[in-house]
Amino acid sequence: MSDNSYLVNKPFTTPDLDQIHGASMKILEQQGILINSEKVLSIFKEHGFKTHGPKVFFTEQQVLSAVESAPEQFEIRARNSENNLKVGNGTPVLCGTGGEVYIAQKDKTQRPGTMEDYQKIAKLVQSSPLKQMTAHESVHPSELKAATSHLDMMWSDLTLCDVAATSNTQDINCLKDSLEMIGIVFGGREKMINKPSTLGIISPLSPLQYAPDQAEALVILAEHGQPAAITNMLLLGSSAPVSIPGALALGNAELLAGVVLSQIVNPGTPVIYGSTSCPLYMKTGASCLGLLKP
């Protein structure tokens, strides 16, 4: 692959992809992934993975064997079975974004989000003619206590919407609460085991790390057989190489490490390989994701 081949407006060739794959395998085997959780490190050790301090190293065979057990498609249950979502095999799935703090107003100003805003967004999701999932934490309700606001948001998701629900994975306690509440819909948390009933977003900490809460949340989802969307956000020129092939090799290594973890915990656990990566805007240090103007 020539140094500037990625600048041409055409797909990567099979040899190009083979090189990116090979680079990812080299990163996983030689650089490893930093796992900042003793609990998760012990899981890798128990399954024969080489570790050194907090780093885990992966052979290509270990990666390929784990990936082989991940299903090609699966269905996420909704409170209303007519709104069950099929994922995979080319079927598009819509889910609102999450983590926003402010609400944009008609006069082009912005203000902190409220619970009333959150509930309005939930109603918009429910009334949409398109099949989609709830947009958990579509905007953070600033007037609520941070320690318990996830409970109020999940309550609104489950009572104002009857579509498939996303879970809060900011920390393991939030995730456990989400699973308990969603479990009520299906007759108890134990009846969710290996029956996809929610989706959790798991984010690697680029470059080549998993924060403790994210790694342990991925384990909890896998133990329940619940799908995880493993989604990194590489910032090209900052937390990743500025070149697209280099960034893809790095990001692929991070995501595959998460896929492997989900499969060694519970083979066959549904998992989504995702990314929201983009360049870094060098003038301000901001992400270029959705950037409208400098």
Contact 152, 141 (CB under 8 A): yes
In 3-state terms, what secondary structure has residue 86? strand
**pLDDT at residue 291, as a whole number:** 52
Contact 198, 170 (CB under 8 A): no
**pLDDT at residue 294, as a whole number:** 43
Q: Where do the structural domains in the chain lie, given as residue ranges?
A: 1-72+199-211+228-294
Q: What is the mean pLDDT of each run of 10 residues along the chain (294 residues)?
A: 55 90 97 96 97 97 96 95 91 82 91 96 92 88 94 96 93 94 92 94 94 96 96 85 90 97 98 85 74 49
- Alpha-carbon distance of 83 to 86, in angstroms, equals 10
**What secondary structure does DSSP assign to 41-54, as a single string?**
HHHHHHTT-EEETT
**pLDDT at residue 77, as a whole number:** 96
**pLDDT at residue 258, as a whole number:** 97
